[in-house]
Structure 1
């Protein structure tokens, strides 16, 4: 039966849900509080010619993204040009640096140079990671996760031991490699999942395959091209987008949404999909209809927030690559500041994206576009002086690595984004940037439920529910929830 569906938020899960729900013939309306789509993946352009992606910058798991477009008779190439990066990224250590090549054979050679026998070990590691990727990204992540029974199947039962669900990622990597740089290289991808490698299930070595084996890509024009393409697909199915629309309240009558208050006006819908922050969405409900209490949220392990700087530099920096990871300091000390001490790190690790290395359209001629990201704890103070201190710290380390001088004096544009901004712009719980950490006790059915247990026609999508944080999982989340709404009687 055709339903009138409201989708709150136009991040990747909301865009995906809009496309799939409209494809089924439903009347779909997407309400976004900002003036453009994308949520955390918005983009902005400065008066002096810089174009900044505000959020995601790692285009991994290209097959998952391609699958979305294929479901609607399109390919990514219908909307944007995707280029493979070579090197994929640089990794800076205390005394040297390594470049991660595009070619898998060259990656094997790099591993062998770092540790005798590591080339063969990498083959074994990647073979197991490929298996986890194929099973994990088909049989696992497409489940709505209402109960364990969804995972009772011959394929999953046969795969259980190979998936290494009960081994932590750090221990798992140590079985293959002894070289510290190789271990850091292997551990890096799971940092996107929002916890220490010692807390992440080894199953997530699938991330290594989805990144290193399938390659690191970049959509020309910026990551925002994916947002625009998904919006176009959703609109082609019949979805209608409404911008500058704030959801004030969700009214309930006898365990059913009776109306949604949008910018002070009441409107009826047969179902609501909230791709907005899960906790915030629940505050729009009367207390007795919320899935989870404040105590529940306080007990959850959230992925980090981050300090981001969007910088325009009035000169080229030849030694800087498109992606660079500054890993000169101890990872565990930084992680401890995020999850245990809840403090700013003394010796931080951070990441730099310089898309102007690949795409001349994102910066004026002879200038660089820099995106700096430093992971930090949620809920901490982020005053301007603290932000500025870490900016200068990061710039000094970029200078040391590249030989560039006086970068701060060459700033042509500067904008920071941190904990309080995530709260203000996205109602993000604690100012988190990535959602819930994918720890073992926050995986699959142990995540916040995709359906409201007390309100029949309210559903949730995005990084705080299944499958979890990241762009491909968010796209999958939208597909899962659209199917759930379609099955609503």
Structure 2
């Protein structure tokens, strides 16, 4: 008889781990409190406009494809992709820099600024690529079950090669002198919710991955990936229960026995939890011994990533004058902006990101119109010194619109809105159980990374596994999909 696995949450990691386990011969059921798959990779449809709610950039496409290939499927049948180039525009006041992953184009763009910085850019790529190979082969793709998995001469030697004690900002400044180019190369640490001012320099691998492997777009937007994983999981014989909130992971003598839904025990041989780890260990794991070191007090003291305020705006026109689908608008003083995000202050001059999926896929908006997704990194709820209410939303809207009006094509943006919706840190907390509204989970600080980060296999409870952005190896869709692979392999290893 097939062994049963209960998966809590149909987020990207929940779906990907469920696919791997179902394909390997387990009888897997996913329980999801929302009515759609994807978790934060969700979708909003309103007034004829379709928006990705969370992630929007496809990096490292091979990791997306692997989810389908492992089950013997052709990824093109599920997630048709197309390369995006230029990757994005970066706006500094009224100046625009187009950022390409084509070496000839980016060379010309950087040479227009400085030959010296072009030489520095190539030096940066060489240095960070060498460190990336070490991280990929020895840290990102493997679990750390026991202290000895990290604390041994070989691994400590590899860790020293990563040069993690430097910050992303400082590391890039060694190679690049122009402040705008420094910011273009460092701000991507915000993709995983940490500041480039104090995030480990290793996270400058993120722009390197963009330059070397490109940015891609999945037809229909990022939610297509979630729907495709749902489809594959069902084709393999898996079961999905939507609108079903899990109340507790049932544990007896430090062994998971199943879950509780509507006061009833649903037994299973194994439990795979894709709910955000801090939320899950605090609210779903009620057995004190099974929590181990992750007491409620410790969970509250841990460092959390930033949050996001996102506007989903349906517009009554096409923005032909705006060249690119992805656009980053930088604060006049990015250092001050970052300082304020991570110290909880109201942002006087926010940096933000504008995404128009309808530029690549006209089906995402009514004919002749565009939808705008505008994301502002803001403080998580444990750090924030202000409340989220209608006044706060209006405050940030005004600052974003005033800045957009200075960019060619957006001069009349306020008059062009015909539909609007928002996600605040409170919504990320309430709708997706993101602890403290931190969209990217636990911050990837040195003391919350690798063997210090929550691992796939629960330390103090048998037959319980965790996956998702707050577990090792961390946040960002490709890394979360990697966490799903690790978690599924850990479960299967124990089952042997």
Structure 2 length-normalised TM = 0.93
**Counterpart in 2 of 1:413?**
419
Partner residue in 2 for 1:329: 332
Q: For 1:360-414, what per-residue CA distance to the aligned partner results, in whole angstroms no more than 9, with x for missing partners? A: 0101112111001111111142101211221132122222112434322221110
**Range with greater deviation from structure 2 (320-329 or 363-372):** 320-329
Equivalent residue, structure 2, for 1:314 = 316
**In the aligned structure 1, how far is the partner of 2:366 from the partner of 2:102?**
31
Query: Counterparts in 2 of 1:83-482, with a 5 A limit?
Result: 83-151=82-150, 159-282=158-281, 283-288=283-288, 289-291=290-292, 292-320=294-322, 321-340=324-343, 342-379=344-381, 380=384, 381-482=387-488
What does 1:71-86 align with in structure 2 at a 5 Å threshold? Answer: 71-86=70-85
Structure 1 position 173, deviation (Å): 0.6
Residues of 2 paired with 1:66 and 1:122: CA distance? 30
Do the aligned partners of 1:44 and 1:51 also contact (CA within 8 Å) in 2?
Answer: yes
Q: Is the 8 A contact 2:101 2:210 kept in 1?
A: no
1:26 aligns with 26
Q: Partner of 2:37 in structure 1?
A: 37
Task: Return closer, same or farther for 1:285/1:298 CA change in 2, 3 Å cut-off.
Answer: closer
Aligned partners of 2:272 and 2:357: how far apart in 1?
A: 34
Residues 417 and 452 (structure 1), Cα distance of their counterparts in 2 relative to 1, 3 Å cut: same
Which has the higher mean CA deviation after the structures are superposed, 403-412 or 330-339? 403-412
Stretch of structure 1 that moved more, 153-162 or 74-83: 153-162
Give the whole-Å Cα distance in 1 for the aligned partners of 2:232 and 2:132: 26
Distance in 2 of aligned mates of 1:378 and 1:152: 33
Unaligned runs of 5+ in 2: none
In 2, the alpha carbon distance for the partners of 1:475 and 1:181 equals: 32
* Structure 1 residues 75 and 176: CA distance shift in structure 2, 3 A: farther
Distance in 2, Cα, partners of 1:159 & 1:286: 38
Instruction: Name the CA distance, whole Å, in 1 between partners of 2:70 and 2:5.
Output: 20
More deviation, 183-192/248-257: 248-257
Cα shift at 1:204: 2.2
CA RMSD of aligned residues (A): 2.0
1:477 to 1:191, Cα distance in 2 relative to 1, 3 A:
same
CA distance in 2, matches of 1:465, 1:97: 37
- 1:151: Cα distance to partner? 4.4
Alpha carbons 2:87, 2:99 under 8 Å: kept: yes
Q: Deviations over 1:60-118 (max 9, x none)?
A: 11222223332222343121321111210010112412011241221122222212222
Q: Give the deviation of 1:14 after TM superposition.
A: 0.3
- Inter-partner Cα distance in structure 1 for 2:190 and 2:285: 33
* Kept after mapping to 2: 8 A contact 1:308/1:417: yes
1:356 positional shift: 1.3
Q: Give unpaired runs (5+ residues) of structure 1.
A: none
**SS of alignment partner, residue 90 of structure 2:** strand
DSSP-derived class of the 2:407 partner: helix
C-alpha displacement at 1:53, in angstroms? 0.7
Q: Distance in 1 between matches of 2:22 and 2:39?
A: 20
CA contact (8 A) 2:193 2:439 kept: no
CA contact (8 A) 1:196 1:332 kept: no
Using the alignment, how far apart are the partners of 2:142 and 2:90 within structure 1? 35
Q: 1:199, 1:440 within 8 Å by CA — same for their partners in 2? A: no
Query: Which whole-Å CA distance do the structure 2 matches of 1:69 and 1:421 have between them?
Result: 31
How many residues are treated as equivalent by the alignment?
487
- Give yes or no for contact 2:442–2:469 (8 Å, CA) kept in 1: yes
What is the alpha-carbon distance in structure 2 between the residues aligned to residue 438 and residue 275 of structure 1? Answer: 18
Deviations 1:3-57 (A, max 9, x none): 21100001111011101111221111111001110000111222x3111111100
Compared CA separation, residues 254 and 177, structure 1 to 2 (3 A): same
- Mapped to 2, the partners of 1:192 and 1:184 lie a distance apart of 14
Distance (whole Å) between structure 2 residues aligned to residue 365 and residue 392 of structure 1:
28
Could you tell which deviates more after superposition, 361-370 or 395-404?
A: 395-404
Matches of 1:153 and 1:134, distance apart in 2 = 19
